[in-house]
Amino acid sequence: MKIIVDAMGGDNAPIEAVKGTIDAVNEYGINAILVGKSSIIENELKKYDYKKEKIEIINAEDIITNDDDPAMAIRRKKDSSMVVGAKALVDGLGDGFLSAGSTGALLAAGIFIVKRIDGIDRAALSVMYPTLKGFSLLLDAGANVDCKPEYLHQFALMGSIYMENVMGIKSPTVGLANIGTEKGKGNLLSKETYELLEKSNLNFKGNIEARELPSGDVDIIVADGFVGNVVLKLTEGMAASIFSILKEEFTKDFKTKIGAGLLKPALKNIKGRMDYREYGGAPLLGLKKPIVKAHGSSDAFAIKNAIKQLIKFIDKDVIKIIESNNHVLINNLEVDNNDL
Amino acid sequence: MKIIVDAMGGDNAPIEAVKGTIDAVNEYGINAILVGKSSIIENELKKYDYKKEKIEIINAEDIITNDDDPAMAIRRKKDSSMVVGAKALVDGLGDGFLSAGSTGALLAAGIFIVKRIDGIDRAALSVMYPTLKGFSLLLDAGANVDCKPEYLHQFALMGSIYMENVMGIKSPTVGLANIGTEKGKGNLLSKETYELLEKSNLNFKGNIEARELPSGDVDIIVADGFVGNVVLKLTEGMAASIFSILKEEFTKDFKTKIGAGLLKPALKNIKGRMDYREYGGAPLLGLKKPIVKAHGSSDAFAIKNAIKQLIKFIDKDVIKIIESNNHVLINNLEVDNNDL
């Protein structure tokens, strides 16, 4: 197996991207291609011990940043590490692609260069959402802000296949992010999506209220990209603001400082439990080849974990399973349409 | 001034509703009407000291619960405390109405009995959203799950008038809940709403990302009722789950227990800062008379605070100001439509 890594993507590139890739090569025995300015990458590679034949470089002079307009950048920056990496994936030089760069640009690269699976209407950004019980797969986390019920149905299907095969969860449960638990609650989109999911052969557990999302009662949380992104970002924002309140209150006087000192390991544990780095990357589901987005602020450890996830994504043939299941889904829908 | 209180609404009714009303009567010198089963209310009233002439009772035999379908309940349970209270408001027996009962039913009572202000398309549930800086007014928090840009424009206008007059904030700032800060981000609804708000004479600060909502950078957060409700509920859910993690980690062993003991006052402070009870009730904006929804689990203190807010809502003539400003808004829109 050979994976392609965007060496220039993310806040800590190329240092952490290169180090994480080497760690993954050493630990998992895979081969890798690093895409980016070869002189810079070579300089980084020199610092480490690894089997030289296991890592290649493909040169790319340009870099896409978060300030670039995603779709425009993919069209114009032909020699960027992201575009060159995505093309290498399409050309079969590697089996999967990882980048910690701009989410929007990576999605655009996926859609315009790698292309969607036939019959899948929209590709979804799927993130590991930390919960009290571990994590849920949240999709769509922001790729598609205006959705139709069929898209959400496809997200649920792709998420189920991913969780079953990559994360090893038997018959994973699906919940629809909503503002009430009963059937019939929510907006037009949620009501129609409920109907589709109820009729599907997925393990659909009904609506899940936003209040219950952090409890982690379902394996897959389905939402349109606007709501999914609000959920993801607000969760981060709430965690950050509660920790800032804790810090403020815990450093108020001598007594609280002593208390906080005694709780230091516990507080560190808590932060660890919410650490995105533990959960690997965010798979882009619905594309013809495996692509995983690592968090923009990934360090080598996070890159390595995201690569581990990409390896499983490739190894378990998730895309083939999505392709074959999607045919069943399309056929079922056709039957349903005839029924009307 | 005379306010009407639904004595039977909420988890702790009638005990806390009656006690909170008496506290408000004693503290603010207002008169009150308690609506509900008179025998039960009389029994409660006996327990306290207050000027008898200041509190009347209107009998209502029935109660609307959270299990009732809101619209159906308003139509069928004619002798419920909520319907009787709303009718008393329309009949001019009091100046404002407070209930801690079912949010949906109170909204339905507002729309079907009290009716919307002419030219206002939708009534909004507006909640005080706790932030690092105090609170923001979040609307709509769940009344209207499928919105048009004009509705959100009206929400922003009504929220601004409320915050300026009732909460005393000069030229309050408005933010549009969105998934990115730049203009042009978000779904169709947010893009079109942005245009309207930008052209308005409101103090519009642009998009506000979900991650920044807890920071409290704007006085008014505008969202459609689906997103607003997700924001509100997820915020509650995140706070609850982080506190449950804290509790788990802080009671793990002897050392953490000592630490947590030293931090007890600090932790209590933190909970206080997120306490809905401090922030009074949720005004229903867009109706012809003032209605405030108190939290379902309100105790007497929360009821009293919500009444205080209702008093200001009445006293500052918010509804008249909305009526006159809305005419300006409608006229402006007509001009804009002619421009097209």
Q: Is A261 on the interface with B (CB under 8 A)?
A: yes
Q: Is B328 on the interface with A (CB under 8 A)?
A: no
Q: In terms of domains, do B136 and B190 share one?
A: yes
Residue A57 contacts residue A66 (beta carbons within 8 Å): no
- Position B327 confidence tier, pLDDT thresholds 50, 70, 90: low
Chain B residues with beta carbon closer than 8 angstroms to that of A247? none
Q: How far apart are CA A146 and CA A148, in angstroms?
A: 7
Question: Three-state SS across chain A?
Answer: CEEEEECCCCCCCCHHHHHHHHHHHHHHCCEEEEEECHHHHHHHHCCCCCCHHHEEEEECCECCCCCCCHHHHHHHCCCEHHHHHHHHHHCCCCCEEEECCCHHHHHHHHHHHHCECCCCCCCEECEEEEECCEEEEEECCCCCCCCCHHHHHHHHHHHHHHHHHCCCCCCCEEEEEECCCCCCCCCHHHHHHHHHHHHCCCEEEEEEEHHHHHHCCCCEEECCHHHHHHHHHHHHHHHHHHHHHHHHHHCCCHHHHHHHHHCHHHHHHHHHHCCHHHHCCEEEECECCCEEECCCCCCHHHHHHHHHHHHHHHHCCHHHHHHHHHHHHHHHHHHHHHHC
Interface pTM, i.e. ipTM = 0.89
Q: Which of A190, A191, A195, A139 is nearest to A162 (CA)?
A: A139
Q: Is B214 on the interface with A (CB under 8 A)?
A: yes
Name the DSSP class of B208. Answer: E
Q: Is the pLDDT of residue B14 over 60?
A: yes
Q: Do B237 and A214 touch (CB under 8 A)?
A: yes
In a domain, B329, yes or no: no
Q: In terms of domains, do A204 and A113 share one?
A: no
C-alpha distance from A225 to closest chain B C-alpha (Å)? 9
Q: Do B252 and A266 touch (CB under 8 A)?
A: yes
- Can you tell me the mean pLDDT for B121-133? 92
Q: Is the pLDDT of residue B234 over 90?
A: yes
> How far is CA B297 from each of CA B12, B301, B305, rounded to the nearest angstrom?
6, 11, 14
C-alpha distance from B251 to closest chain A C-alpha (Å)? 9
Q: In terms of domains, do B115 and B128 share one?
A: no
**A 18-77 residues inside an 8 A Cβ radius of B:** none
Both tokens of B239, joined, read 């706070």
C-alpha distance from B2 to closest chain A C-alpha (Å)? 35
Q: Is B333 on the interface with A (CB under 8 A)?
A: no
Q: Give the best residue of A238, A258, A270, A295 to mutate against chain B (max B CB count within 10 A).
A: A238
- Position B336 confidence tier, pLDDT thresholds 50, 70, 90: very low
Q: In terms of domains, do B114 and B148 share one?
A: no
A173: β partners: A203
In a domain, A323, yes or no: no
Chain B residues with beta carbon closer than 8 angstroms to that of A242? 238-239, 242, 270
Q: Is A250 on the interface with B (CB under 8 A)?
A: yes
Closest CB to A266: pick one of B209, B215, B250.
B250
Q: In terms of domains, do B80 and B213 share one?
A: no
Average pLDDT, chain B: 92
Find the residue in A nearest to B237 (Cα): A211
pLDDT of residue A289: 98
Chain A residues with beta carbon closer than 8 angstroms to that of B209? 233
In a domain, B238, yes or no: yes
Q: In terms of domains, do A181 and A307 share one?
A: no
Q: Is A231 on the interface with B (CB under 8 A)?
A: yes
Higher pLDDT, B169 or B279: B169
pLDDT of residue B339: 37
In a domain, B109, yes or no: yes
Q: In terms of domains, do B79 and B145 share one?
A: no
- Count Cβ atoms below 10 Å from residue A57 Cβ, excluding itself: 18
Chain A residues with beta carbon closer than 8 angstroms to that of B239? 238, 242
CATH label of the domain that carries residue B292:
3.40.718.10
Q: Do A234 and B234 touch (CB under 8 A)?
A: yes
Higher pLDDT, A139 or B253: A139
In a domain, B332, yes or no: no
pLDDT of residue B57: 98
In a domain, A333, yes or no: no
Q: Which domain holds residue A299?
A: 1-118+286-318
Tally of domains within chain A: 2
pLDDT tens digits, residue range A111-164?
999 999 999 999 999 999 989 888 999 999 999 999 999 999 999 999 999 999
Q: How far apart are CA A35 and CA A15, in angstroms?
A: 13
Q: In terms of domains, do B166 and B270 share one?
A: yes
In a domain, B244, yes or no: yes
Chain A residues with beta carbon closer than 8 angstroms to that of B240? 211, 214
Q: Is the pLDDT of residue B82 over 80?
A: yes
Q: In terms of domains, do B260 and B291 share one?
A: no
Rg (CA), chain B: 21
Chain B residues with beta carbon closer than 8 angstroms to that of A71? none
pLDDT of residue B276: 60
Closest CB to B238: pick one of A238, A250, A266.
A238
Q: In terms of domains, do B54 and B23 share one?
A: yes
By DSSP bridging, strand B220-222 and strand B173-178 are parallel
Both tokens of B204, joined, read 């519009």
- The domain boundary, picked from B227, B250, B280, lies at B280
Q: Is the pLDDT of residue B109 over 50?
A: yes
Both tokens of B335, joined, read 């001009």
pLDDT tens digits, residue range B162-199?
999 999 999 999 999 999 999 989 999 999 999 999 99
Q: Give the best residue of A107, A182, A230 to mutate against chain B (max B CB count within 10 A).
A: A230
Chain B residues with beta carbon closer than 8 angstroms to that of A215? 237, 241
Q: Is B335 on the interface with A (CB under 8 A)?
A: no
Task: From first to last of the 340 residues of chain A, give the pLDDT tens digit.
Answer: 999 999 999 999 999 999 999 999 999 999 999 999 999 999 999 999 999 999 999 999 999 998 899 999 999 999 999 999 999 999 999 999 999 999 999 999 999 999 999 999 999 999 999 898 889 999 999 999 999 999 999 999 999 999 999 999 999 999 999 999 999 899 999 999 999 999 999 999 999 999 999 999 999 999 999 999 999 999 989 988 888 888 888 888 888 898 888 888 888 887 777 666 666 789 999 999 999 999 888 999 999 999 999 999 999 999 999 998 876 655 554 444 433 3
Higher pLDDT, B265 or B100: B100
In a domain, B62, yes or no: yes
**B 118-137 residues inside an 8 A Cβ radius of A:** 131-132
Q: Do B241 and A209 touch (CB under 8 A)?
A: no
Q: In terms of domains, do B159 and B196 share one?
A: yes
Q: Give the best residue of B145, B254, B295 to mutate against chain A (max A CB count within 10 A).
A: B145
- Can you tell me the mean pLDDT for B201-223? 96
Q: In terms of domains, do B304 and B242 share one?
A: no
* b/e per residue A156-187 (b: at least 16 CB within 10 A): bbbbbbbbbbbbebeebbbbbbbbbeeeebbb
Q: Is B188 on the interface with A (CB under 8 A)?
A: yes
A129: β partners: A136
- Position B251 confidence tier, pLDDT thresholds 50, 70, 90: confident
Q: Do B234 and A241 touch (CB under 8 A)?
A: no
Q: Do B234 and A210 touch (CB under 8 A)?
A: yes
